[in-house]
Amino acid sequence: MSPVILSAAGVALVLDDAAPGLPRVRHFGAGLGPVAGADLLPALTSPAPPLLPAQGDGWYGRPGLSGGRDGEHWPVRWTVDGIDVTAEPGSGGSVTVTASDARAGLRLASELVMDGGGLVRMRHTLTNTAASAYRLAGLVCALPVPARAGELLDFTGRWALEKVPQRREFGQGVWSRENRRGRTGHDATGLLVAGTGGFGFRAGEVWAVHAGWSGDHVHYAERLAEGVALLGAGELLEPGEVVLAEGEHYSTPWVYFAWSGAGLDDVSARLHGHLRARPLPVRPVTLNNWEATYFDHGLDRLLELADKAAAAGIERFVLDDGWFRHRRDDRAGLGDWYVDEGVWPDGLHPLADRVRKLGMQFGLWFEPEMVNPDSDLARAHPDWILGHAERMPPPQRHQQVLDLARPEAYAYLLERLDALVGEYALDYIKWDHNRDIAEPVHDGVPGVHAQTLATYRLLDELRARHPGLEIESCSSGGARVDFGILARTDRVWTSDSNDALDRQQIQRWTGLLVPPERMGCHVGAPRDHVTGRMLPLAFRAATALFGHMGVEWDLTAASQEELEELAGWIALHKRLRPVLHAGRVVRADHPDPSALLHGVVTAERAVYAYVQISSRPVIEPGPLRLPGLDPEAGYEVRVAGPGAEGIAMPAWAAMPAWAAAPVRLTGAVLGEMGLPAPALRPASALVLELVRV
């Protein structure tokens, strides 16, 4: 048959099945125009890996499939049984390739789907067709990248400082990022990107891969001496974790691939488009009481906090950790999911009722997958702890992990969550996961795979029983941010740090994968509880503005002036929400390393932030060249935000004339010549609102 072409939004993927074995991926990248498959035959000469690379196909790099049977090693050589194509040129489509190896006793189904935005997702399903067990060691998804992709970008990080970028040359060999934390991880790359030298947000050709999986995983880039290179990802399996009996199958998580000919912003837009295909209701401005009261759940104090929140325009009140039995600190009570009668003699109803009378939604914090050894649950069911029966796993945060793949533990959690959501008509759950999983053993085998699938089932069942319930994925902040968990939740808690200076970078890079409306971004206290840094309210609020805005601050201790200014920022966020939560995210490749310039653009409006994150290396800052605008359109530009006239500037500096009153300029002028930049002090931000005229 002629080569198969999937194309959409300027992207093309070409599969060639002329050679024996699985089809080879001849091209993944720029669109090829209105070309027919037969027209490509003369071009299909360069080396290319098959859908699942193996030595039998001439591939001597990392194999796509690894595993075996006890006492027998038989390398797989696939015979294609069928290729099912559903494709419309320019609109994407899907390809499913089925293959088998009767001697190896295996059957394979490989799926590729390109959506209308040009994002490709891929997964393999492996079935054991032989009588003996097949011990699966690894099954990954990979697509090729061309020789001109000579640079790699990935991310690392830690608690309260997630998504730290790092770059390196894409040389020969394998660059592998492996995660064995049992959850996605603070240091997880999220996206592994290959690109042409010096690529940025608005320039360069780039390819990216993301594994949509919340357990152990691997992302890797590999270049062989033969000149072939690829990006791959998948679940990372421990020996014996997946053993397939006859007729049993294993499916990889979906792995996502994106291409852009115009820098990282275009990759980001394709990824955001995938998540936005599942629409969300309007994102309510949220107050979480954690950094306001911690474990102090005095009703009077919480009622006063709710009153202050409603007066500031907040739309949702979330009661965090400390409401359940025995939970006066973090050493006890996890797993005892009953309202603490000693602290809440009338249950949570007095608070929930007041919150709703004030016009706000009510939400509650849980950490369902965890248990304190000092809890009624652990004392009654020590066998429910994920680990070996003869030895407790190493503790973290005074807690262990519940074995959700154990039916009794799963049933207990589902009953408790279902009952509490029902009793209090919860609008929202903050679902936390506060430790890495160490030494996970389930029924005598490694347990992360089963634990992750059980967590997904629990989330899916709870949502099925309560269709209007929204769920936030929190994991010590941003340690579980991936498309697997985001398929079942409505936002992620981006970081446990509310330090707006650190948050600028954390949100910038997390936002490559996650659109603003799904990133929790809160206004913290004047002195940050993690870093101890003092930051002005205008800067804290301008940082939180560009996400799912919230507040994590004891408003009962705030001054009247602070409350009024906060209310102004919340009102601005509500007014700009249709832009911020639906537009295309853009980031300038700003030449000044001490400043950031980013925004969100729709057809009719745009919002930008110019952020001074440190002292400038030069006296006069460069112009603000606003990316993403229609060059032919005219725009009215104005400074937005409460107290905009009081933006922090050095004593010697003056605000540019354009900031004093709205100006009208074309998108071409704003994008090429730009606006004179104000000389801001560090930890200051200027918010601009643009309206098409």
Q: What is the CATH number of the domain that holds 552?
A: 3.20.20.70
Do 116 and 170 lie in one domain? The reply is yes
272 and 295 housed in the same domain: no
What SS3 state is found at 413?
A: helix
Residue 431 annotated as part of some ligand binding site:
yes
Q: Contact 399/370 with Cβ under 8 angstroms?
A: yes
**Alpha-carbon torsion, ordered 504, 505, 511, 516, to 10 deg:** -10
419's CB contacts (< 8 A; 6+ apart) are none
SS3 352: helix
Pairing of strands 286-288, 548-551: parallel
Q: Produce one character per residue of 89-111: b if its CB has 16 or more CB atoms within 10 Å, e if not.
A: beebbebebbbbbeebbbbbbbb
Q: What is the model's pLDDT at position 269?
A: 98
On whether residue 401 sits in a domain, the answer given is: yes
CATH classification at residue 640: 2.60.40.1180
Q: What is the pLDDT of residue 276?
A: 98
Q: Identify the pLDDT of residue 132.
A: 97
Within a domain: residue 281? no
SS3 sequence of 69-127:
ECCECCCCCCEEEEEEEEECCCECEEEEEEEEECCCCEEEEEEEEECCCCCEEEEEEEE
Judge whether 154 is annotated as a binding position.
no
Bridge partner residues of 288 (DSSP): 318
Strand ranges in 216-373 using DSSP code E only, listed in sequence order: 217-223, 229-235, 242-244, 249-251, 255-260, 286-288, 316-319, 361-366, 370-371
CB of 563 closer than 8 Å to CB of 550: no
Residue 56 DSSP one-character state: G
β-bridge pairing 428-431 and 361-366 = parallel
Torsion of CA 184, 208, 97, 126, to 10 degrees: -20
For residues 258 and 347, membership in a common domain is answered with no
Q: Is residue 466 part of a domain?
A: yes
- My answer on whether 321 and 227 are in the same domain is no
Instruction: Walk along the chain (693 residues) in steps of 10 and give the mean pLDDT of each run.
Output: 90 91 95 83 82 92 96 92 93 97 97 98 98 98 97 98 98 98 97 98 98 98 95 98 98 98 98 97 98 97 98 98 97 98 97 98 98 98 94 94 98 98 98 97 96 98 97 98 98 98 98 98 98 97 98 98 97 98 98 96 98 89 95 97 66 77 96 94 95 98
Same domain (yes/no): 291, 271: no
Residue 166 region by backbone torsions, left for phi larger than 0, else alpha for psi between -120 and 50, else beta: beta
- Assign 443 to helix, strand or coil: coil
Q: Considering 519, 552, 577, which residue would you say is the last residue of a domain? A: 577
Q: Tell me, yes or no, whether 538 and 597 share the same domain.
A: no
| pLDDT at res. 653 | 67
Instruction: Based on the fold, state whether residues 626 and 561 are members of the same structural domain.
Output: no
Q: Assess whether 557 and 645 both reside in one domain.
A: no
Domain of 270 in residue numbering reads as 4-276
Q: Are residues 457 and 350 in the same domain?
A: yes
CA 664 to chain centre: 37
In a domain? residue 583: no
Please give the structure tokens belonging to residue 564: 């009024």
Are 240 and 299 part of one and the same domain? no
From 276, 299, 333, the end of a domain falls on 276
DSSP readout, 446-483? E-HHHHHHHHHHHHHHHHHHSTT-EEEE-BTTBSS-SH
Residue with tokens 């306001």: 292
Does residue 100 sit within a domain? yes
Is there a binding annotation on residue 474? yes
Going through 343-455 in order, the beta strands assigned E by DSSP cover: 361-366, 370-371, 400-401, 428-431, 441-442, 445-446
* 397 labeled part of a ligand binding site: yes
Whichever domain contains 214, its CATH number is: 2.70.98.60
> Is 658 labelled as part of a ligand binding site?
no
- The domain boundary, picked from 577, 606, 629, lies at 577
334: which strand partners?
Answer: none
* Residue that the structure tokens 């006859």 belong to: 246
What is the separation of C-alpha 119 from the centre of its chain, rounded to a whole number of angstroms? 16
In a domain, 582, yes or no: no
Cα separation values, 659 from 428, 654, 663, 675, Å: 40, 10, 8, 10
- Residues 568 and 632 occupy one common structural domain: no
Residue 305 inside a domain? The answer is yes
Residues 204 and 451: their CA atoms lie apart, in Å, by 40
Q: How many domains does the chain have?
A: 3
Annotated binding residue 434 = yes
Q: Which residues are part of the catalytic machinery?
A: 432, 496
The answer to whether 496 is a known ligand-binding residue is yes
Q: What is the pTM of this model?
A: 0.97
d(CA 450, CA 472): 22
- Asked if residue 41 and residue 17 are part of one domain, the reply reads yes
